[in-house]
Amino acid sequence: MDNPKDKIERIQKNRKMAHAYYSEKSEVYRKFLEMEQAAFQDGALSRLQKEFIAIGISVATDCESCMEWHIQQAVKGGASEEEVLEAVEVGIEMGGGPATVSARFAMDVMRYYFNKTPS
C-alpha cells in the first residue's frame, strides 16, 4: 500500500504523462483545457475562490487526482491551510458520510503542500 507521499507523487507523474499524451493527440482534450482556462480565470469570483469550489466538489465526488490538483493550485494561489480545510469541510457536508473518507486523502494532500509531509 502506498504511503500518502508516494501516492501524491504518483498522481502528479501520471497526470503529467497523460497531459503530454492527450495534448498532442486529442482535440477534445485541448478543448477541455480551453474550457478549464475560461472557467478558472478571475471574474466575479477570483481564481482562488473557484479553486475552493473545485476542492469541495473533488471531495464530494471522491476524485483524488482532482483533490491533489486543486489543493496544489489553491496553495500556489496563496490559500491558507485553514481556507483549504474549510473548502474540504464544505465537500464533506455536500457529500455526506462517504465524503469523510475522501477527506482523508485531502488531509494527506494538505499536509504534503503545507510542508507537513505525510508519512
Residue 11 half-sphere exposure toward CB, CA atoms < 13 A: 20
Q: How many Å apart are CA 83 and CA 75, to the nearest integer?
A: 10
Q: What is the pLDDT of residue 116?
A: 74
Q: What is the pTM of this model?
A: 0.90
* Residue for grid cell 497523460: 18
pLDDT higher at 117 or 75: 75
Q: What is the pLDDT of residues 42-71, one digit of tens each?
A: 999 999 999 999 999 999 999 999 999 999
47 vs 64: CA distance, rounded Å: 20
pLDDT surpasses 60 at 41: yes
Given CA atoms 79, 95, 100, 118 in this order, what sign does their dihedral have? Answer: negative
The CATH number given to 4-113 is: 1.20.1290.10
Return d(Cα 95, Cα 58) in angstroms, integer. Answer: 10
Structural domain spans, the chain: 4-113
pLDDT, one tens digit per residue, over 16-36 is 999 999 999 999 999 999 999
Check residue 2 and give its pLDDT: 72
Whether 119 contacts 108, CB under 8 Å: no
Q: What is the pLDDT of residues 62-106, one digit of tens each?
A: 999 999 999 999 999 999 999 999 999 999 999 999 999 999 999
Task: Label residue 115 by pLDDT band (50, 70, 90).
Answer: confident
Per-residue pLDDT at 112: 93
